[in-house]
Chain A
Amino acid sequence: MTAVTHPRQIVLRSPRERLALKLPLRAVLVLCLLLLALFLTIAVSLATGSYGVALGDVLDTLRGITISRAIDNVVWEFRFARTLAAALVGAMMALSGAALQNATRNGLADPSLVGVSQGAALAVVTLTVVFPDISSSWRPWAAFAGAILVALAVQGLARTRQGGSTIRFILMGIGLSAFISSITSAMMTYGEIDRAMAALAWLAGSINAASWGDVWTLLAWCAVLLPALLAISRTMSALRFGEAAAIGLGAPVKLVRNLQLAVAVALAAIATSVVGPLGFVGLIAPHAAQRLAPAGMAMHLILTAAIGALLVSLADLIGRAAFAPIQIPAGLLTALIGVPLFVALLLRSRATTH
Chain B
Amino acid sequence: MILRATLAVLALAIGLASPAFAQETRSFTAANGTFDIPVAPQRIVALNDQIVALPLYELGAPLVGSAGRTDADGNHFLRGGMDTLGIDYANTDIAYVGGFNGLDLEAIAALSPDLIIGGPYTDPDVAEQLQKVAPTLLIDNGALGLVDTLKTLADVSGKSGSFDARYQRYLDNVERAKSYIGDTSVISITMTFMFPAGEELWVYRAGLGAIAQVLDDVGFAQPAVVAALAETQASWSAELIQDLDADFVFGFYRQQPDATPETIFAAYEKFAPGWCQALTACQNGQFVLLPGPTFGSTMAGLDLALELVENTVAGRPFTPFVEAP
A192 within 8 Å of B (CB atoms): yes
Contact of A70 among B104, B122, B126, B133 (CB under 8 A): B133
Residue pair B101, A200 in contact (C-beta under 8 Å): yes
Q: How would you classify the secondary structure of chain B's contact residues: helix, strand, loop or mixed?
A: mixed
Interface stretch of the complex, out of A34-42, A71-79, A174-182, A308-316:
A71-79
Residue pair A190, B107 in contact (C-beta under 8 Å): no
Q: Which residue of A lies closest to B102 (CB)?
A: A327
B121 within 8 Å of A (CB atoms): yes
Residue pair B126, A194 in contact (C-beta under 8 Å): no
Q: Which residue of A lies closest to B96 (CB)?
A: A325
List the B side residues contacting A194 at CB < 8 Å: 119-121, 141-142
In the complex, per-residue mask of A326-347: 1 if CB is within 8 Å of any chain B CB, else 0:
1111000000000000000000
Residue pair A208, B112 in contact (C-beta under 8 Å): no
Residue pair B106, A51 in contact (C-beta under 8 Å): yes
B110 within 8 Å of A (CB atoms): yes
In the complex, per-residue mask of A53-80: 1 if CB is within 8 Å of any chain B CB, else 0:
0000000000000000010011001110
The distance from the CB of A135 to the nearest CB of chain B, in whole angstroms, is 8
Q: With A194-B142, A198-B122 as known contacts, state yes or no: A74 contacts B129, CB within 8 Å.
A: no
Cα–Cα, bound, A315→B142 (Å): 35
B128 within 8 Å of A (CB atoms): yes
- The bracket for how many chain A residues form the interface is 35 or more
Within 8 A of A (CB), among B80-127: 96-107, 109-110, 112, 119-126
Residue pair B102, A209 in contact (C-beta under 8 Å): no
Cα–Cα, bound, A189→B107 (Å): 31
List the B side residues contacting A352 at CB < 8 Å: none
The distance from the CB of A123 to the nearest CB of chain B, in whole angstroms, is 15
List the A side residues contacting B100 at CB < 8 Å: 197
The distance from the CB of A86 to the nearest CB of chain B, in whole angstroms, is 14
List the B side residues contacting A324 at CB < 8 Å: 104, 106-107
Cα–Cα, bound, A217→B133 (Å): 23
B235 within 8 Å of A (CB atoms): yes
Counting chain B CB atoms within 10 Å of each CB, which of A50, A52, A79 scores highest?
A50
Residue pair A77, B129 in contact (C-beta under 8 Å): yes
In the complex, per-residue mask of A196-221: 1 if CB is within 8 Å of any chain B CB, else 0:
01101110101011010000000000
Contact of B98 among A79, A132, A193, A325 (CB under 8 A): A325
List the B side residues contacting A79 at CB < 8 Å: 106
Counting chain A CB atoms within 10 Å of each CB, which of B99, B105, B109, B112 scores highest?
B105
Residue pair A201, B110 in contact (C-beta under 8 Å): no
B231 within 8 Å of A (CB atoms): yes
A13 within 8 Å of B (CB atoms): no
A136 within 8 Å of B (CB atoms): yes
B284 within 8 Å of A (CB atoms): no
B132 within 8 Å of A (CB atoms): yes
Residue pair A202, B123 in contact (C-beta under 8 Å): yes
Residue pair B129, A50 in contact (C-beta under 8 Å): no
Within 8 A of A (CB), among B184-236: 231-233, 235
The distance from the CB of B96 to the nearest CB of chain A, in whole angstroms, is 6
Contact of B109 among A51, A197, A208 (CB under 8 A): A51
B179 within 8 Å of A (CB atoms): no
Cα–Cα, bound, A191→B96 (Å): 29
Q: Which residue of A lies closest to B67 (CB)?
A: A325
A195 within 8 Å of B (CB atoms): yes
The distance from the CB of B23 to the nearest CB of chain A, in whole angstroms, is 14
List the B side residues contacting A206 at CB < 8 Å: 102, 123
B319 within 8 Å of A (CB atoms): no
The distance from the CB of A306 to the nearest CB of chain B, in whole angstroms, is 27
A49 within 8 Å of B (CB atoms): yes
Contact of A209 among B110, B126, B233 (CB under 8 A): B126
12 additional A-B pairs beyond A208-B123, A325-B107, beta carbons within 8 Å, are A50-B107, A51-B109, A139-B124, A198-B122, A209-B123, A209-B125, A211-B128, A211-B129, A320-B104, A325-B97, A326-B70, A327-B103
Would you give 26 A-B contacts (Cβ < 8 Å), ordered by A? A50-B106, A50-B107, A51-B106, A70-B109, A77-B129, A77-B132, A78-B105, A78-B109, A79-B106, A192-B231, A193-B233, A194-B119, A194-B141, A195-B120, A198-B123, A201-B123, A202-B123, A208-B102, A211-B128, A325-B97, A326-B70, A326-B98, A326-B99, A327-B102, A327-B104, A328-B102
